[in-house]
Amino acid sequence: METRSGPVVASFFIFLCLLPTIFCASGDGLMRFGLKKWKLDQNQLAAHLEPKDGLSLRGGVKNYQLHWKLGYREDADIVPLKNYLDAQYFGEIGIGSPPQKFKVIFDTGSSNLWVPSSKCYFSVACYFHSKYKSGHSSTYKKNGKPAAIRYGTGAISGFFSEDSVKLGDLVVENQEFIEATKEPSLTFLVAKFDGILGLGFQEISVGNAVPVWYNMVKQGLVNEPVFSFWLNRNADQEEGGEIVFGGMDPNHFKGEHTYVPVTRKGYWQFDMGDVLIGGKSSGYCAGGCSAIADSGTSLLAGPTTIITEVNHAIGATGVVSQECKALVSQYGETIIERILAKDQPEKICSEIGLCTFDGVRGVSMGIDSVVDESAGRSNGGLRDAMCSTCEMAVVWMQNQLRDNQTQERILNYVNELCERLPSPMGESSVDCNSLASMPNVSFTIGGKIFELTPEQYVLKVGEGDIAQCVSGFIAMDVPPPRGPLWILGDVFMGTYHTVFDYGNLRIGFAEAA
């Protein structure tokens, strides 16, 4: 991630001791590591689902409001991943000579490597994680250039250094990385990982540092410029997953991969088609959306318009939006009339005075909200909300009119969707006993439908009577030209084995095995 907008990493409120890693070599020439999963007990569950601190299960979603910002080989190298509550996948690397061990998230949504520094004196988070000691490494090279990365729940800052980085059996020499001397956020304090290893493109690298992956390719450490992810979502298995550098393991996918080209270097971004809810078009991405495959994001993020429809369809409970219901009450009939009159949908909200038209879409014009300020919210925030809420209502009403619904039914339906708008923290809970009745949600990529079942898109925490379930879908709105944007995080990548083909600038998906 670049300095001004980086990831919000998954965060939880439990401190557990790291179980020992078990090494084993297999007959196919690959080195594999046995992995352990982390599980909650009854006393710990409530803390994980408590949203008031802003660090609940929704935590694995990044801030993407940017300003800029194959074949299998026996000699491919494997780095194992640990799985924490199906929300944090991390593996072990070594920095320096001899290697100092760190647990890092392998993040395709950022491009820098950083770990805590022994010179981090005033951030509590540093005292709970492994710290890099340059004086203990014979291959350390001083750099000293300052660096800072801002995340959605905080920031890290420090300075660049250079040293060797060990991943599995591979050693990357003279790798530039950040020694973090400040980690003020509670996110990093409770995280199960020490740092982050970015696998995105250099275009979003802070300080224009050469990413680890680039150096792996440049130094000839992999025969194929390809890496792949398998994230194990099976709660009955302790193994967390694998990242394979230099190829892919056929034991972890079924059939052939569907490949799509990278459309914009920086993140692993590609074009995506329609989103289907229960096999039915949502109507929002029928003309195409952009998407990012992001291993550093725990859940699956998309435009509020569709996420609200999904949460309504699966019975997720969010927070009632007063401004949304007020808009429907005051402007609902007018919007329906404009749609029936064949007005351009993208201009309707500006025509009724809730947005100003910028030639492509409606944008906020800073008008006063129809909801009284006594509702206890920031009036400035409500002003901005009215334009986007109106545009969502237009899409919802269009879909209902296509089904020849009556005006009364349409207004009732939109009011129901207002009640399903995600809470300010993004998370929405669902009934664990209702999974069988929930619809599948599908994504069109490369002309193929990639389907997620309720068991795949619902995050279940705990077992038996104490089990609680959270929708894997959260809202995030990125405006054009970069948006509308979907972030296909671990909820999606856990279902579909993902290949990042750096050599051919493409990304591939196949059913995980």
Distance CA 88, CA 9 (A): 8
Of the candidates 126, 144, 112, the residue with the CA atom closest to the CA atom of residue 184: 126
In sequence order, the 6+-apart residues with CB closer than 8 A to the CB of 136 are 96, 98, 100
Residues 96, 101, 106: CA angle, nearest 5 degrees: 100
C-alpha dihedral, 495 to 500 to 504 to 510, nearest 10°: -20
45 Cβ partners below 8 Å, 6+ apart? 461, 462, 466, 468
Of 107, 163, 477, 501, the catalytic one is 107
- What count of Cα atoms within 13 Å lies in the side-chain half-sphere of residue 41? 4
- Of 86, 249, 274, 294, the active-site residue reads 294
Whether residue 107 lies in the annotated active site: yes
Active site residue 77: no
Diameter of the chain measured on Cα atoms:
75
- For residue 51, the number of C-alpha atoms closer than 13 Å in the C-beta half-sphere is 13
Residue where the block lists tokens 């201009």: 347
Distance, CA of 85 to chain centre: 15
Q: Which of 116, 58, 62, 63 is nearest to 87 (CA)?
A: 58
Closest CA to 267 of 490, 477, 110, 112: 110
What span, in angstroms and rounded, lies between the C-alpha atoms of 498 and 507? 7
Residue 207 to residue 187: CA distance in whole angstroms: 23
CA distances from 29 to 21, 165, 193, 232, 447 (A): 19, 22, 28, 21, 36
- Give the angle subtended at the CA of 292 by the CAs of 288 and 296, to the nearest 5°: 155
Q: Positive or negative CA dihedral for 279, 228, 217, 298?
A: positive
Cβ(191)–Cβ(9) under 8 Å?
yes
Which residues are part of the catalytic machinery? 107, 294
